[in-house]
Amino acid sequence: MVNQYIKEILDNAYLKFNQKNFIENDPICIPHLFSKKEDIEIAGFFAATLAWGNRKSIIKNCTNLVNCMDLNPHDFILNHSKKDLKLVKKFVHRTFNSVDCCYFITSLKNIYKNHNGLSNVFSSNKKDIAYHILNFRNIFFELNHLNRTEKHVSNPLKNSSSKRLCMYLRWMVRNDSYGVDFGIWKHIKPNQLYLPLDVHTGNVSRYLGLLNRKQNDWKAVTEITKTLRIYDANDPIKYDFSLFGLGVNGLIK
């Protein structure tokens, strides 16, 4: 049952925080540097992957990475040489190091050359997004790689909240008139998305009585998403803006 008081809080916060001025201080500013679909996908994937820690540090390091790709991610992924990888081999963001970065580049080349691109591998014959993520993950790691790199691509079927991949899918799938999310992937519908659950969205969800589970895991993601679908069946993850904005700005703790 919809609580009209809570719905008003969520809707007002959505309108307040889903604005273009949100972009400049969020990792989504990285894919917004580009207009070509493939560049947006690739830059967005790296930005989402690296989106943990201090947001200024995330944006700085992501900016450095796309600069290493000559601000042409798709062309770099397809046509880079060993010489081109020299700058990338110096890249580090927290525990994501040059070995991980080089594998990501190699795997993305395989995906664009042999699997018709990122949007295609985020697909499954099952409706649930968890299986879309699993399909992507299986293809992403089909090449030889170090086990350490797998920790940078989460698996919801192992009860990970998969916050960064859920956020990436929100960026690619949601499409509204506010210009923050891109809406360039049409094979996934907004009502299939799951909430990118983190400390902020989790705490605010619990404060508002929308989430009971204490751990921020996939079971909690499933619970809060099911609740948000009551408040908007067609576009429940628009409330990511509400929950994150209220939390990160200290309006609800």
> Closest by alpha carbon to 188, among 199, 178, 174, 204?
174
> What residue spans of 69-198 are helical by DSSP H?
73-79, 85-88, 98-114, 118-121, 129-140, 163-173
Signed CA dihedral, 44, 185, 203, 95: sign only: negative
What is the per-residue pLDDT for 252? 67
110 vs 82, higher pLDDT: 110
3-class SS at 51?
coil
pLDDT, residue 111, reads 98
Which helix (DSSP H) or strand (DSSP E) does residue 241 occupy?
helix 239-248
Q: Amino acid letter at 120? A: N
- pTM given for the model: 0.96
Decide if pLDDT at 19 tops 70: yes
Contact 74, 38 (CB under 8 A): yes
Tokens representing 16?
């307040």
pLDDT at residue 89 is higher than 90? no
Residue 68 vs residues 87, 205, 210: alpha-carbon distances, Å: 6, 39, 42
Mean pLDDT for the chain overall: 95
What is the model's pLDDT at position 88? 86
Taking residues 32-49, what's their average pLDDT?
Answer: 98
pLDDT single digits (tens) 185-233: 999 999 999 999 999 999 999 999 999 999 999 999 999 999 999 999 9
Q: Where are the domains of the chain?
A: 4-248
Computed from CA positions of residues 119, 161, 130, 101, in that sequence, does the dihedral angle turn out positive or negative? positive
Smallest CA-to-CA distance from 48 within 146, 175, 136, 142 is with 136
Calpha distance 196→213 (Å, rounded): 15
Query: Region 139-151: what's the mean pLDDT?
Result: 97
Read off the pLDDT band of 90 (50, 70, 90): confident
**Confidence at residue 126, expressed as pLDDT on a 0 to 100 scale:** 83
Percent of the chain with pLDDT over 70: 99
SS3 192: helix
Residues 13-21 have a mean pLDDT of 95
Integer Cα distance of 213 and 205 in angstroms: 10
d(CA 14, CA 241): 5
What is residue 21's predicted lDDT score, i.e. its pLDDT?
92
Angstrom distance (rounded) from CA 41 to CA 38: 5
Mean pLDDT for the stretch of residues 116-132? 93
Rounded Cα distance between 104 and 137, Å, is 12
